[in-house]
Homo-oligomer: A and B are copies of this chain.
Amino acid sequence: MRDFAPEKAGKKQWIEAKIKTVFERYGFVPLETPVVEDYGLLAKKGSGGEAIKDEIYCFKDKSGRELGLRFDLTVPLARFVASNPQMPKPFKRYQIGPVYRYDRPGASRYRSFTQADWDIVGSTGTMADFETIAVAIDAMKGLGFKKGEFKVRVNNRKLLEEVALCCNVAKGKIVDCFRCLDKLDKIGEKGVEKELVEKGIDAQILGQLNVKKMNGLKLKDTTPLEEMEGLLALLKKNGLDAFVEFDLSLARGLEYYTGIVFEVCVKGGPSVGGGGRYDKLVESYGGQATPAVDCSFGVDRLLDVLGERVKVQKGPKVLVVPVGRELQEKALDLVQKIRGLGVNTAMDLNSRGISKNLDYANKLGIPFVVILGEKELKAKEFSLKEMASGKEKKIKMADLGKLQKLVE
């Protein structure tokens, strides 16, 4: 678990704000559930599944109650919906916050990471799936990703299940099979083949996944395929087909998915988000049968991928420096006036000389320094130094609007 120093924290918050704007544009409303949940709830059968269960941070509080840190934002949402049946449906909610997985840390894998999650609860069918994917695409565009720089891989678990059944995978082994397939990116086809065989699963399914179309397989139930084609058609009609790719090999790791699944992938980079339909989860927490679809971004991964592309000026625009301790109170007066204009402003709090203050402004990336000396004060003015050019300008105290314009 790591700290985000100011520059990184500023970029992270910029990403979160951009995504949040898109959530709200699509009519999602915020929900906040706590980081700590009942362990039993997190580890429940039909929730994340066996793989995630081992990764839950769990502990007992002083009264002996078993608690755990949430591993995603969808399970707590399902718990919330189950115990608040009065929420009007569809309930379109977003939540941005940290989640925890006791995983081996690695490249872009963290034990604590921030998810930006959006869900449509109480809608079945293609329109809700479409909206969920459209949010992902608009958010990626909002973050500055261009066409061709990312793709949303889409699949349908029911379809994959039909294919698996056609390939001699026993019904009782489907969950295991999906868990193996989910590792394709990580351990490759050979690795997955080995795992499938170890689990006693016919590996011929692997031969069916490299193609974008059904490889002449006769599916028993063609509904999932029709659902998939309906969604792809709708995406195309709305001009989003260039951002989407049907990928039959996509399984997703979490057990609760029941239908469409998708993953947001950056070209040549990691997956930065994913989700899918989970029509049984709310029910499994004691709620009414409630269809739902979600997606979430991994904010830390977006931050890793965007890196230098994000330019954020989070610190103050202006540093005010009094020349000598006697002018400190006059400087403070000026500072409060500048702040009153809505300009983010710091002042010298340590009674340091000008050169030390300029050095400080440089280190912090503060673009402007106001210098207030005895002479300036008498002339009812101050100096404004632009750090990038080194140029100085005198500005009258009575003309703070001029300063405001210059620093914007």
Contact = CB atoms under 8 A, between A and B. Distances in A.
Interface of A: 1-6, 9-10, 12-13, 24-27, 29-36, 57-62, 69, 80, 84, 87-90, 92-93, 98, 100, 102, 112, 120, 122-123, 125, 127-128, 130-131, 134, 234, 237-238, 314-316, 319, 328-329, 332-333, 336, 339, 342-347, 349-350, 360, 363-364
What 10 pairs across the A-B complex have the smallest Cβ distances? Answer: A59-B59, A27-B346, A27-B316, A1-B34, A6-B29, A4-B32, A9-B30, A123-B349, A88-B363, A9-B32
Nearest to A130: B332
A24 B60 contact: no
Contact of A30 (B10, B336, B344): B10
Given A112-B36, A332-B127, A350-B123, A314 B29 contact: yes
Contacts of A29: 6, 9-10, 314-315, 364
Nearest to A80: B3
A204 B363 CA distance: 52
Contacts of A31: 3-6, 9
Contact of A90 (B34, B57, B90, B350): B350
Contacts of A32: 3-4, 9, 12
A84 B134 CA distance: 42
Contacts of A87: 5
Given A3-B32, A90-B349, A130-B332, 12 more contacts: A3-B31, A3-B33, A6-B31, A10-B29, A27-B315, A30-B314, A35-B98, A36-B57, A36-B100, A36-B112, A90-B350, A134-B336
A315 B2 CA distance: 33
A389 B1 CA distance: 52
> What copy number does this chain have within its complex?
2
Contact of A26 (B26, B102, B339, B342): B339
A128 B87 CA distance: 47
Nearest to A76: B3
A346 to B, nearest CB: 3
A6 B314 contact: no
B349 A131 contact: yes
Interface centre among A3, A4, A24 (most CB of B within 10 A): A3
Contacts of A61: 57, 102
Nearest to A92: B346
Given A59-B57, A131-B349, A344 B35 contact: no
Contacts of A346: 26-27, 92
Given A3-B33, A112-B34, A344 B98 contact: no
B30 A13 contact: yes
Given A90-B349, A314-B30, A350-B123, A329 B3 contact: no
A57 B61 CA distance: 7
A57 B59 CA distance: 9
Contacts of A93: 6
Given A3-B33, A237-B329, A59 B62 contact: no
A134 B29 CA distance: 33
A59 B100 CA distance: 14
Contacts of A343: 25
Contacts of A4: 30-33
Contacts of A237: 329
Given A102-B61, A329-B234, A35 B33 contact: no
A31 B88 CA distance: 37
A333 B234 CA distance: 11
25 contacts: A1-B36, A4-B32, A5-B31, A6-B30, A6-B31, A9-B30, A9-B31, A10-B29, A25-B339, A26-B346, A27-B315, A27-B319, A27-B345, A27-B346, A27-B347, A29-B314, A57-B59, A57-B61, A88-B363, A127-B332, A127-B347, A128-B349, A134-B336, A234-B329, A238-B333
